Amino acid sequence: MIKMRILSGADVRQAVTMAEAIQAVKAAYIQLSAGKAVVPLRTPVPVEKQGGVTLFMPAYLSTSDALGAKIVSVFPGNLARGLPLIHAVVVVVDAETGCPIALMDGTYLTALRTGAASGVSTDLLARPDARVAAVFGAGAQARTQLEAVCTVRPIQKAWVYDTVPDRAVAYAQEMLGRGRPIPTDISVAGSPAEALRAADVVCTATTSSTPVFDDADLKSGAHVSGVGAYTHEMQEIPAETVARAKVVVDSRVASLAEAGDLIIPLKDGLITEASIHGEIGEVATGQIPGRESHTEVTFFKSVGLAVQDVAVAELILQRAADLGLGVEVEL
């Protein structure tokens, strides 16, 4: 009889900290860049009637022997219904037997591992003296973006900008109540320029199809993590920023196939494929350099990979067993 552990969103939150998730995602990126991962491109199933999409994302990490898949839906109309933009579940499979051994809420896990990706990139690419952060977007993903950045850098001041000011206000109030490592100084920006004025680290976590800031407002030496644009048509980062930055990606193959932030300037002839410096896993192992000057602008483009989900899910499952979280059911 197959036993499967079912883990709720509350269980997932309790099982793993952001610092632990950052380390798990970093290890997954290293395996990916070393050719130790099987990660097919995600399979999107558009639901045109609702303007949404459901994505199927499997992966296997051979070094850590982690196997599983995520099913994630992005339905913009949910916000008007009072529902989350993103819903997801993750299935963990025993890599020795092929038996499904866990099913867990993937909605918070998605936010956690997406934040962790920016935590990895900030740790490896941002200036060591970074103290000011700017976050574009005020949804679930934006919350873990700030948490991750503050986990790897002693951020003293944060700005948030959203096209819906009330959402930004609610975000700031919520994040202020979380305590360390979140700073006690969080302000709502009245414009993208105000958010960027002093920002050392910038995180974009939106569903925008046009750039969310002007390149001229981005200060010298800033690090940018773009996690929101995951289709050909979506674009959060100005092409001019991409053209002048050191560009590091989570996966060359996935980014060139899916990331509008790169595909659009490629089509316009502003960059070439050679403009991509490399993968974050290569930076993590020292195969290629990260930041090389105080004034260099660095840009990490993440389309989101199943290796992140599987790596964090494997860690969550281990901790859940130790902590007695979740419910076991027989299939």
Q: What is the CATH number of the domain that holds 321?
A: 3.30.1780.10
Whether residues 95 and 199 share a domain: the answer is no
Whether residues 132 and 55 share a domain: the answer is no
Q: At 28, give phi and psi (nearest 5°).
A: -65, -40
Q: Which residues pair with 133 in a beta bridge?
A: 158, 201
Lowest mean pLDDT among 126-130, 138-142, 283-287, 309-313: 138-142
Residue span of the structural domain in which 65 resides: 3-109+307-330
Whether residues 277 and 231 share a domain: the answer is yes
The mean pLDDT value for 261-270 works out to 94
Whether residues 223 and 311 share a domain: the answer is no
Reported pTM: 0.92
- What is the predicted pLDDT for the residue at 277? 98
Whether residues 90 and 188 share a domain: the answer is no
- What is the predicted pLDDT for the residue at 139? 86
The mean pLDDT value for 308-322 works out to 96
Whether residues 56 and 154 share a domain: the answer is no
Whether residues 48 and 122 share a domain: the answer is no
Write out the catalytic residue numbers: 70
The first and second tokens of residue 166, run together, are 């009330």
In the block, which residue shows the tokens 């969550």?
A: 316
Whether residues 297 and 318 share a domain: the answer is no
Lowest mean pLDDT among 77-91, 201-215, 243-257: 77-91
The first and second tokens of residue 5, run together, are 């552990």
The mean pLDDT value for 202-227 works out to 95
Instruction: Give the whole-angstrom CA distance, residue 121 versus residue 52.
Output: 29
The rounded radius of gyration (Å) of the Cα atoms in the chain is 19
Check: CB of residue 119 under 8 Å from CB of residue 149. yes
Check: CB of residue 7 under 8 Å from CB of residue 325. yes
Answer yes or no: is pLDDT of 1 > 80: no
Q: Give DSSP secondary structure letters for 207-229.
A: --SS-SS-GGGSPTT-EEEE-S-
Total domains present in the chain = 2
Instruction: Give the whole-angstrom CA distance, residue 13 versus residue 310.
Output: 16
The mean pLDDT value for 69-74 works out to 94
